[in-house]
Amino acid sequence: MQGIGVYDSGLGGLTVLRELKRCFPKEKFIYFADTAHLPYGTKSLDQIRSYGQGAGRHFQEAGVKALVVACNTATGAALDLLRDQMPCPVLGVIEPGAKAAHQASKNKKYALLATQSTIDRGLYQAYLKDLDPRAQVYGLACPQMVLAVEDGLADHYIGRKIVWEYLDQLPADYDTLILGCTHFPLAQKAVEDYFKQKKRQVKVIDPAIQTCLDLAETVKMEEGKTGKTNYYTSGEKTLFKEKLEKIFGERVRVGNWDF
């Protein structure tokens, strides 16, 4: 087996891939974006689990040595299924994110920005309460943030306005905010600017960082070779390729995986 598989519904998982490439520059990665079925956050549990199985079959054929489910919604809905299906370790992003948030928080009050599916599944809430029964989690579904990132508006005034309007809906007593959708680190500057404007000290958690640490403890990483990433999508390739090149600032090739 070779390489690390990275699975997401769209562009969001690129924030996880970016961190993985930074931590493991010699490793081979296979990134799959299931853009044909985007967004996952509004889909039923059965639908998401079916998409996960389809993605898992492709990663099995590719022979990856580990799979990172770089999507909070898919982690919550299909992580158990993928762990049963795959012959290699499968990591999600929710447990690492909860762990990092717990370590960062002083008052154990958390805000969670995520999709409706992730909020409803309640896994962040459960993990945080397992770590400390005093934990209070204010969950807020933010579907328009997902769409803003997918449309390339994270750094645009429209995206910023969307982010700030969501943050205005939360109470003001949390000290740690979890970016509980892998799209949201692409809008992290707008989040941090909000807290600066409000003169609040809030720790912003990107679960990708802890996910990399957990992955390093799970599998042996490649050494001494030049890193390489192969990209695949289930949807339209040209637009996805353009977005990839804008984010990473380099030319890429994109293949199709259908199911």
Active-site annotation, residues: 71, 181
Contact status, residue 113 vs residue 178, Cβ threshold 8 Å = yes
Which runs of E-coded beta strand occur in the chain?
A: 4-8, 28-33, 66-69, 90-91, 109-114, 136-141, 176-179, 203-205, 228-233, 254-256
Report the C-alpha dihedral over residues 251, 255, 257, 258, rounded to 10 degrees.
120
Helix/strand/coil for 123: helix
Nearest-angstrom CA–CA distance, 42 and 39: 6
Kind of pairing, strands 28-33 and 66-69?
A: unpaired
CB atoms within 10 A of CB 65: 19
Contact status, residue 205 vs residue 178, Cβ threshold 8 Å = yes
Nearest-angstrom CA–CA distance, 79 and 108: 26
Nearest Cα to 113, choosing from 158, 78, 162? Answer: 162
Q: Burial of 18 by CB count in 10 Å (0-12 exposed, 13-18 middle, 19+ buried)?
A: middle
